Amino acid sequence: MSRPVPLSFELFPPRQQAEMARIAETISPLRSLDPEFISVTYGAGGSSRGRTLDALARLAKEPGLTLAGHLTCAGCPRDVTLAVAERYAKMGVQEIIALRGDPPQDEATAEAPFDQPVALIEALAKTGKFKIRVACYPEIHPQARSAEADLDALKAKFDAGADTAITQFFFDIDAWDRFIERCAKAGFADRIIPGIMPIQSFKGVANFAARCGTSIPVWLRDAYGHVQTKAEQDLLSLSICTELCDDLISRGAPGLHFYTLNKPDLAVATSRALGLRPRPDQRASQLLRRAV
């Protein structure tokens, strides 16, 4: 039976113009799921600014989509950052995912940047033009002094005007439970949306996890150590992602946010396996057939 679980999906702006021209095709299977929003990432220090604006401008031509533009503040002047937000508003982008981000390693820190994401959130909230979403870490931000300090930082974002927070991806459901328990005591557990990373490539995800502080359980490494074919990998990835999402839904998660890496098939197949019943999509159907 279908369950009313809000879904959202993250894309990154393509580097090649040919891929940029096909970005509407990338989201075609996602549209069948009636997403709450589709977000487009923004590189460190604004390094992908032009491509992000281009991608959002192309997607804004698609009817019926709610778009969210990422916006980072580290290493970028305040006036430039707010100018990007204004361009988002003019092209019809209704939401912003406000992040600190990391300044480009090959550039000096810009003059007069937002020094903290809280300042960016406050400035965006004053415009009254956007729904503001932020990031959070179930397994604690790698640079946080403690779990308590990390939670205090998240509370400050909500106090500054953030509406919801999307988590970094994770695979340990116990880590989610501990995090949500802390959030519940702070009074904002219902505003936390779990971020989901369908495993397209275990090696790639493991490398990414090492950089962002996400733990890889031993059982997960062992499971992928035994797969021998693409079909087996697809089935395993679909099974793991579906089980994690089902556990989160049963625990009352207010939505699911998928990091698609511009490859939507696993996200769509997971949603179908959960019984969310999108309209039939050929590519997702093919993935399911390969898996079984």
Active site residues: 10
Do β-strands 256-259 and 195-196 pair in parallel, antiparallel, or remain unpaired? parallel
- Helices vs. strands in the chain: H and E counts, helices first: 12, 9
Convert 53-70 to b/e letters by CB count within 10 Å (16 or more is b): bbbbbbbeeeeebebbbb
Hey, what are 102's tokens? 């990391």
Residues 6+ positions from 184 with CB-CB distance below 8 Å: none
The amino acid sitting at 248 is L
Looking at the chain, list the stretches that DSSP marks H as alpha helix, in order from N- to C-terminal side. 17-21, 23-31, 49-59, 78-90, 117-127, 147-160, 173-186, 202-212, 218-225, 230-250, 265-273, 282-291
Hey, what are 42's tokens? 């923004």
Rg (CA), the chain: 19
- The closest alpha carbon to 166, from 234, 68, 88, 286, belongs to 68
Adjacent-strand bridge partners of 7: 256
Q: What is the largest CA-CA distance in the chain?
A: 56
